[in-house]
Amino acid sequence: MNRIVLFLVLGLVSSSVARGTETAATGPAAVSAQAAHAMLTRLCDDFGGRLTGSAVNRGALEQLGGELRALGLQPELVPFTMPGWERGADRVELVAPFARPLRVAALSYTQPQAAFVAEVVDLGLGTEENYPTVSVQGKIGLLGAGAALPMREILRLARTHGLAGLLLINRENGGLLLARTGSFIGEALPLPVYTITQEEGLWLQRLLARARPVRVRMETRSHCRPVETANLVLRLPGKSPARIIVGAHFDSWDLGQGALDNGLGTAQLFALAHFLRGRELAHTVELVWFNGEEQGLWGSRHQASLLGGAPVVAMLNLDMVGVPVAVNALGEDALVPLLERWNAARGERKLPLGVQNINWFGSDHTPYQLAGVRAITFHGPLDRESVRYYHDLGDTIDKLPEKVVIDSTAIIADFVLALANDPQLTAGRRSTAETRELFLRAGLEARMRGLGWWPFETASIK
């Protein structure tokens, strides 16, 4: 049998479930989830947003480590350095046709820029065809919420046309902003880039459509700086050194509390630690709270780089996973039978959408996939009226009911325990060629190239 076939073992999950996986809402998993929600409430209320490299992030990570040690566990800080960024007292104000402060947030890796006043020009969706035929040198570009180009391409066009700054209209209404990174590889941005509320952005667009001159004053004090940070790793040893890695990013943006993104995953990992402690396991379970995800997956990049030849069964990524309705093999065809057997063994508790097999880019499973590790996640939609606030000041613990943590943990713990308790489950890695094909089949090459993340030498785009 080849390495992929070796990875699959018939009867994996049914035997594990028969050995007594706890999933009832009133069972041990529920108790663990309640403890996790209480822990997350303290983190959110006592520290706020956990921007990587900030004192708040460090304090919250130390608090999490202390709470794990209080359970009799021994988490380990794994330090690393990364290109960091610090938000400053940035200001963008409308000065014509009237004076008005605008609600904005700089994208990370935006550099300091002395105050200047410039005209605003509507760039539509920001493609080359959307640029006016007249010069926009020294102006500030306004991009619509549907702009789909990678940020590097948006910035390349902006520099080519001589723009002095960019305003990106938010995709959600209600005065919300979408804090996000300006570079997935830590490049300092060549001009200041801000997200602006949908309401104010559309307002400016309407003025420009009527040929009303619009000018703004922009002053940027945010700045790039190298930061020292750490992941938090907890290993629960099993009879076999082969690892099942379960990860979630600990960091968040700074505008809110980061309860949904990704305090939820942070709590689910804590619940797993609480639930699995003291249990005999066939395989080692490694729980990892990653830092630096929001700015470019830096923590998972670092952690994946440390794997060397360690035997890894699979990596499970928990990033904003609500109550699962499906389990996703992330493009790994060979994993589908394994996941289907687990779901079938749940009987009346089967996930309603069953097994998906859709690879996507942009969270902490990607560095592990690039290291040849097979990755899994869950599809667990969150309530629309809560999740719409993510990355902004409304992402607070009151948007995350305890029941979501309880119900999601019951399914996640069932799955992880099933994997961890099967002594026949075999570790394996893909070759580089197989990994390249994984991303090609998913149609991710163009997106990854656009973000500076395509590591394979041979070009494939026609």
Query: Where exactly are the structural domains of the chain?
Result: 3-84+226-430, 88-221
The owner of tokens 């749940």 is: 346
The confidence score (pLDDT) of residue 425 equals 84
**97 class by beta-carbon count within 10 Å (0-12 exposed, 13-18 middle, 19+ buried):** exposed
Arch. (CATH architecture) of 88-221: 3-Layer(bba) Sandwich (3.50)
The owner of tokens 């607070």 is: 396
List CB contacts of 18: < 8 A, sequence separation 6 or more.
none
Tens digit of each residue's pLDDT, the chain (462 residues): 444 333 333 344 433 333 334 444 678 899 999 999 999 999 999 999 999 999 999 999 999 999 999 999 999 999 999 999 999 999 999 999 999 999 999 999 999 999 999 999 999 999 999 999 999 999 999 999 988 899 999 999 999 999 999 999 999 999 999 999 999 999 999 999 999 999 999 999 999 999 999 999 999 999 999 999 999 999 999 999 999 999 999 999 999 999 999 999 999 999 999 999 999 999 999 999 999 999 999 999 999 999 999 999 999 999 999 999 999 999 999 999 999 999 999 999 999 999 999 999 999 999 999 999 999 999 999 999 999 999 999 999 999 999 999 999 999 999 999 999 987 788 999 999 999 999 999 999 999 999 999 999 865 554
The confidence score (pLDDT) of residue 203 equals 98
CA proximity to 321, closest of 253, 233, 410: 410
Q: Virtual CA dihedral for 43, 47, 52, 53, nearest 10 degrees? A: -130
The confidence score (pLDDT) of residue 159 equals 97
Superfamily of the domain at 3-84+226-430: Zn peptidases (3.40.630.10)
Pairing of strands 100-101, 104-106: unpaired
CA geometry: angle 205, 211, 216, nearest 5 deg: 60
